[in-house]
Structures are given as C-alpha cells and as structure tokens.
C-alpha cells in the first residue's frame, strides 16, 4: 500500500508544495514543530535511508541542502535542525524515508540536551562494531 507521501507525490492528497524535482518533493509539514517546518522526500518509496539507491540518496542530499538554505533565508537566516527518524523506534511515523527541516528561531527550545556518557572502553567497542559493519 502506498504511503501518504506517495499519495502526495502522485497528487492524490494536496500539499503546500515548496519544490518538486524528478526524484524528490519538498512540502510544508501539516503538523509543524515550528512555522516553516518542511519535509524533503524522495519519490522512490523506501522506508529507511539505507534502502535508498545511492544515486537517489545523492540527489536527495542536494535537494535537502537547497531547500534548507531557502527555509533559513525565508525566515531571516534562521537556524534549523535537519532530522531523519529512521525506523519506528526512532520516531518514524510514515514508512517512507524523509527529512524534516525544522526552523529554530531565537528563543526556541534546544534539542539534544540529554546526554549519555560512555563507560570506560565502551566508545572504542562501539566504534569497532560500527567499522566492522561498513560496506
């Protein structure tokens, strides 16, 4: 079954379109975390970033950069977060990879406040585990 984003891409559901290319679409989030909150979505429907073909991922990053610059400029060069929720445990609600550009004007809350320290030797163990999984 097509995701809600695929239905938007196919024109079955309306959106406030920001940009459309051959391989991506960008539109305003209907439940924004702040005014100007924009989603950048590949037209290729895959649930996770690592499932996206490399050429589509490269094009997506270029579009993400272009749209992020425009979002910032449109809001007086506002700072912003770029967020990817990759999987349900990470907060992904729509099983179609997408990036959030969330403007952070002066006075807005600061994310990533909660920190978790590594125990002795843990950092090198995690680093090694990740290196062993690189393609």
Q: What CATH number is attached to the domain comprising 39?
A: 3.30.428.10
Catalytic annotation on 37? no
**pLDDT of 60-93, one tens digit each?**
999 999 999 999 999 998 999 999 999 999 999 9
Dihedral sign computed on CA atoms, order 94, 17, 32, 51? positive
Task: Give dist(CA 73, CA 19) in Å, integer.
Answer: 15
C-alpha distances in Å from residue 63, one per residue of 12, 66, 106: 23, 5, 26
For residue 118, the enclosing domain spans 4-132
Task: Give dist(CA 17, CA 25) in Å, integer.
Answer: 8
Among the listed residues 37, 96, 98, 100, the single catalytic one is 98
Count: domains in the chain: 1
Q: Indicate whether 44 pLDDT > 80.
A: yes
Least confident of 87-91, 104-108, 114-118: 114-118
* Residue 100 β-bridge partners: 39, 83
Q: Indicate whether 116 pLDDT > 80.
A: no
* Chain mean pLDDT for the chain: 93
Task: Give dist(CA 5, CA 92) in Å, integer.
Answer: 13
């Amino acid at each position: 079954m097509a995701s809600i984003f695929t239905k938007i891409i196919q024109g079955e559901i309306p959106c406030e379109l920001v940009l459309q290319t051959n391989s991506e679409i960008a539109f305003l989030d209907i439940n924004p975390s702040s005014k100007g909150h924009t989603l950048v979505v590949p037209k290729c429907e895959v649930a996770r970033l690592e499932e996206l073909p490399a050429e589509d991922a490269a094009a997506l990053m270029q579009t993400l950069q272009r749209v992020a610059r425009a979002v910032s400029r449109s809001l007086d060069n506002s700072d912003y977060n770029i967020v990817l929720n990759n999987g349900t445990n990470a907060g992904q609600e729509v099983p179609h990879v997408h990036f959030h550009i969330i403007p952070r004007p002066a006075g807005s809350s600061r994310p990533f406040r909660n920190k978790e320290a590594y125990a002795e030797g843990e950092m090198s163990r995690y680093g090694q585990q990740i290196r062993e999984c690189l393609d």
